[in-house]
């Protein structure tokens, strides 16, 4: 199945450790969403926003990888699954259940996300923008 990563799972080494069968396919943009950080974990989340994009990575994952991600993402308590179509193919990602206010991520978490942006060659300015969003 196809999985869209936009937070710490962009980090190739970490993703491989979590999901041994995962294969990085390419970077893509999720349209009409924006990146934010929230919850007591100060983790990445996406929310609908017109004319905005969330850069991320498309991975091919196995059923057992999905089960591991479910545990890691605390599904269905912290995150729920969200599906969208990319060129006619169904893609799964996670989005937080409770849309709590913005919380700046911890330095450790943010460093993992930044490394992931480098691994996937994503536009860092969009991450910087997300960190300035307070509304």
Cα 37 from Cα 46, distance rounded (Å): 8
Residue 130 pLDDT exceeds 90 = yes
Summarize the confidence of residues 68-81 as an average pLDDT.
98
| Token pair 């196995």: residue | 62
Query: Which CATH code is given to the segment(s) 2-124?
Result: 3.10.490.10
> What percent of the chain stands above pLDDT 70?
98
Q: pLDDT tens digits, residue range 75-124?
A: 999 999 999 999 999 999 999 999 999 999 999 999 999 999 999 999 99
Nearest to 59 by CA among 11, 95, 97: 11
Task: Indicate the average pLDDT of the chain.
Answer: 96
**pLDDT band at residue 132 using 50, 70 and 90 as cut-offs:** confident
Summarize the confidence of residues 27-33 as an average pLDDT.
98
pLDDT score of 135: 46
């Amino acid at each position: 199945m196809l999985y869209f990563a936009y937070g710490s799972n962009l980090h190739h080494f970490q993703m491989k450790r979590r999901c041994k069968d995962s294969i990085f396919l390419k970077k893509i943009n999720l349209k009409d969403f924006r990146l934010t950080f929230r919850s007591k974990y100060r983790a990445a989340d996406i929310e609908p926003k017109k004319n905005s994009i969330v850069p991320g990575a498309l991975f091919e994952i196995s059923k057992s990888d999905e089960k591991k991600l479910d545990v890691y993402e605390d599904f269905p308590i912290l995150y729920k699954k969200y599906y969208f179509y990319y060129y006619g193919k169904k893609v799964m990602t996670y989005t937080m259940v409770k849309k709590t206010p913005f919380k700046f991520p911890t330095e450790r978490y943010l460093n993992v996300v930044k490394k992931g942006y480098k691994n996937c060659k994503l536009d860092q300015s969009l991450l910087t923008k997300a960190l300035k969003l307070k509304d």
